[in-house]
Every structure is written in C-alpha cells, then in structure tokens.
Amino acid sequence: MTNAFTSSGLFGTLLSDPAIAAEFEATAFVGRMLRFEAAWTDALATCHVVTAEDAAHALAAIKRFSGADLATGSDRDGLPVPALVAALKRELPEAARRAVHTGATSQDVIDTAMVLTCLTVLDRLTERLDRVIAAVEALADRFGDRPLTARTRMQAALPATVALRLDAWRRPLVAHLARAALLREELAAVQIGGPIGARDRPAAHVATCAGHVAEALGLPLGPVWHSDRSRMMALGHWLTLVTGSLGKIGQDVALMAQQGVAEITLSGGGGSSAMAHKQNPVAAEAMVTLARYVAGQQGILAQAMIHEQERSGAAWALEWLTLPAMAEATGAALRHAEAVLSSVARIGTPDGTDAPG
C-alpha cells in the first residue's frame, strides 16, 4: 500500500497484497490510459475528424509507447497525462498530432483507466470472496453440529452450536458477493466529458465519437461524471463492508483461540520471540487491522465528493491515495481469511465445560 514501511518487505505480505497492488502500478495503469487514447484516436478517424492516415500514425505511436518518464511530468503538471500526450505526439508528423487526444481531457483518460483498473480488481476480489464463503460452508459441514457457547458482550450466554457463529460469518459475505454484481454495473462507465465536462468536442461528432470509445473499451456511455464521484464512493463502501465482515471473523477467531477458552484450534505459525508457549493468531489479527484501516480510509475517500466547480485537483487526488490502498488491504484481508479458515483443525466448546449452567 502507499506506505514504504509495510511495502518494503520487512513485514512480508502481512499488510499488503502484491497481486492487487500490481493492477495499480505504473505499467498496468499506463496500459489502460493508452487503451483510452487508442480508442479515442480510432473514434476521431471513424468520425472523419482526422484522416485514416494520420490516425494510423498516431495508433502506431500509441502502440510502441514504452514508458517515458511520466513521473517528472506529474511533478510538474499534477498528473501524468500531459506528459503522456506530449510523448505520443513528439515523434509524429505535424498533421498526425491532431489525431492524439484532440477533444479529450486528462480526467477522461485517468477516470476511464481507473474504472478499467477497478473492474479488474473487483473481479479478483470477488473470486477470493467466493472462495472464502466456500471455506466457511466447508467448516459448517465439518463442525456445524458441535456444541459452542454463544457469547453476548463477550460473556457466556446460552448453549448453541458452531453453526450459529459460522452462519453469522457467512450471511454478510454472501450479501457482499451479490452486491458486487450491482456495484460492477454502477462502476462500469466510460468518462468522456472533454475539457470542462460539457461533452461537446469534437463539435458535431461528439456523440458518435463518445459512443465509439465506449464500445471499444466495453464500457457503457452514461452522463459525464467529472465532479460526481459517487461510483468511486460506492466501491470504497463495498471494500469497507467486505473488510468489516472479515474483521468480525478475525476478531471472533482471535477470541476463540484464547488460552482458557480454546474454542478453536488453528494450525500454522504465530510464534512469540519471548514466550515459546504462545501461538498468536497472526492472520486473524491482521484481518482486524486491515478492516479498521479500510474503514478509516473510507472516511478520507468520502472527502473526494467535494469537488469545487467543474473539477478539483485536490479532491480528485484523494482517490489516487485511498482507493488503491483500500483495494490492496481488502485483497490482503481476503487472502488471510482463506488461510485462517483453511487452517482450522477444530471448532467447538471443549467438552462443554464452559457452557453456562
């Protein structure tokens, strides 16, 4: 995540997820920005705004782009698109330069690339979530009928079975998985608004060009959403829900594993540097930490709703700080959940000895 301390390797992948992080890295994200630029150039040619020959030159430049130093451009301009566009145009004949980015704006490129990235990430996360649900169901098949002391406010309450607690773990996860399909529909929208969000360029051809780009990228074309960040908030909300439910599981597992309670037995690591008798529920604890982190970041992400006038550089940049980190944390939490659930060797009240009388 956006934290050199946790991403340096010192803490392994305890609080990070390389597979999810890779989707937001420069190579992958620039590749998606180039997909937008290629679709836009092709649309300009289709609408006869530029000639087919000029578009062919531009598309060749887009295809061979190998990653110029966009970081320097971002330091100067506040985002990488101006440097990207300049690099694409640099080697083109003068007439062909008009076939790159004409009528589009930086926000069109970055927002659309972010949508494509988030849709890929959402697919990865829902695949993991589906496996976590299956793991809970497998535990219910193995241990659901065993006795377990129900606890309210962390005090022994009434006799129950393991199925009661496992069902409380499973239900919200199933709901989140179903909600992901609706989220995907909400999230999947190309951004085409032009310089001020009016979607009026190229004049007389904008509707056809916009529709062509949307079709090429496999995204619906809806209203301009330059200053409406609702879909990004919805993604953050879903990430918060998923990690929160996983954090509940992690918290339960950590409490159930306490010495003297021993309602669950886990295989694996968790050693202490000072106390050899301990087996700390490390992955379960990480699930709690990650849930609390994502919940905190959602509060920051919500600040990105406050865009002044037609575009905010400050509010927009909050999404770049928070969403990748939230997605990565969710990936790590799901990975830990799979590991914890697969490591369960036993669940249930030991011999019913701490059941309330």
Please give the average per-residue pLDDT across 319-326, as a whole number. 97
pLDDT per residue over 95-128, tens digit each? Answer: 999 999 999 999 999 999 999 999 999 999 999 9
Q: Which helix (H) or strand (E) holds 21?
A: helix 18-24
pLDDT per residue over 224-250, tens digit each? Answer: 999 999 999 999 999 999 999 999 999
Q: Which amino acid is at 247?
A: G
Is 8 a residue whose pLDDT tops 90? Answer: no
Beta-carbon contacts of 108 under 8 Å, excluding residues fewer than 6 positions away, are: 36, 40, 191, 192, 193, 194
pLDDT per residue over 280-291, tens digit each? Answer: 789 999 999 999
Length reported for the chain: 357
pLDDT band at 351; cut points 50, 70, 90: low
Is 141 a residue whose pLDDT tops 80? Answer: yes
Q: φ and ψ at 265, to 5 degrees?
A: -120, 125
Looking at residue 65, its pLDDT comes to: 95
Looking at residue 248, its pLDDT comes to: 98
Is 353 a residue whose pLDDT tops 60? Answer: no
Please give the average per-residue pLDDT across 7-18, as a whole number. 87
Q: Does domain 4-352 have CATH number 1.20.200.10?
A: yes
Q: Which amino acid is at 309?
A: Q
Looking at residue 2, its pLDDT comes to: 56
Task: Find out whether 70 and 239 touch, Cβ atoms under 8 Å.
Answer: no
CA 138 to mean position of chain CA atoms: 27
Is 270 a residue whose pLDDT tops 90? Answer: no
Is 272 a residue whose pLDDT tops 90? Answer: no
Is 76 a residue whose pLDDT tops 60? Answer: yes
Give the helix ranges, DSSP H, for the chain. Answer: 4-7, 18-24, 26-46, 52-64, 70-77, 81-90, 106-143, 162-187, 206-217, 230-256, 282-302, 313-342
pLDDT band at 91; cut points 50, 70, 90: confident
* Residue 305, SS3 per DSSP: helix
Please give the average per-residue pLDDT across 261-266, as a whole number. 91
Q: Maximum Cα–Cα distance for the chain, whole Å? A: 87
Is 278 a residue whose pLDDT tops 80? Answer: no
CA neighbours closer than 13 Å in the CB half-sphere of residue 234: 18
Please, what is the average pLDDT of the chain? 92
Looking at residue 259, its pLDDT comes to: 82
Is 137 a residue whose pLDDT tops 80? Answer: yes
Looking at residue 204, its pLDDT comes to: 84
Looking at residue 11, its pLDDT comes to: 87
What the block records as the tokens of 80 is 């990488």
Q: In angstroms, what CA-CA distances link 123 with 120, 180, 336?
A: 5, 9, 18
Distance, in Å, from the CA atom of 117 to the CA atom of 330, rounded to the nearest integer, reads 15
Residue reference for tokens 């970041």: 297
Query: pLDDT exceeding 90 applies to what percent of the chain?
Result: 85
Catalytic residues: 272, 311
Between residues 279 and 308, the one the model is more confident about: 308
Is 139 a residue whose pLDDT tops 90? Answer: yes
